[in-house]
Amino acid sequence: MSTSAQYKVFLSHGSTDAWVARQLSKEIKALGAATFLDETDIPKGANFKEIIRQEISECNELLALFTPWSAQRSWVWSEVGAAWGQNKPVLGVLYGMSQKKFDTVSGGKAMFEDINVLDLNETEKYLSELQSRVGSQSNG
């Protein structure tokens, strides 16, 4: 769990998409931000529900990776809802599915209608914008 004031991104994903989530985490860390990724940051046997709640409350934003596998996972949606309920910025990255498919399969339009959703191939734009947020926090 975080003890510093470093800008932190909570990465929400399904277990099937762990490799892609790790790649996103590497890119985010390269910008100077911290990440929370359940598979690497929750010890085996720990109270994962409590850690998830704590990490969401400590993060600056949540990035949810949506794939055909994760778009219907209740934990991903629980994490999105928890961050949204705490007024945290929530962004969705689509991989292997279109916006239309995402809206149809997951009901994503209800939660993400006014929130940024981008294709994995557009993550450079997200990372550029994230770098500005990370930089403004460290300068502020």
Residue 34 located in a structural domain: yes
In this prediction the pTM is 0.89
Under 8 Å CB-to-CB from 89, ≥6 apart: which residues?
60, 61, 62, 83, 115
CATH number at residue 54: 3.40.50.10140
Instruction: Please state, in angstroms and rounded to a whole number, the distance separating the CA atoms of residues 5 and 23.
Output: 23
User: Residues 27-39: pLDDT tens digits?
Assistant: 999 999 999 998 7
User: Residues 51-79: pLDDT tens digits?
Assistant: 999 999 999 999 999 999 998 889 999 99
Residue 1 located in a structural domain: no
User: Residues 111-130: pLDDT tens digits?
Assistant: 776 568 899 999 999 999 99
Q: How many CA atoms lie within 13 A of 45 on its CB side?
A: 0
Identity of residue 13: H
pLDDT at 100: 85
Q: Which domain holds residue 89?
A: 8-139
Residue 3 located in a structural domain: no
Residue 88 located in a structural domain: yes
Bin 23: left if φ > 0, else alpha if -120 < ψ < 50, else beta: alpha
Structural domain total, the chain: 1
Q: Where are the beta strands (DSSP E) in the chain?
A: 8-12, 34-37, 61-66, 90-94, 117-119
Question: DSSP letters along 12-36, please?
Answer: E--GGGHHHHHHHHHHHHHTT-EEE
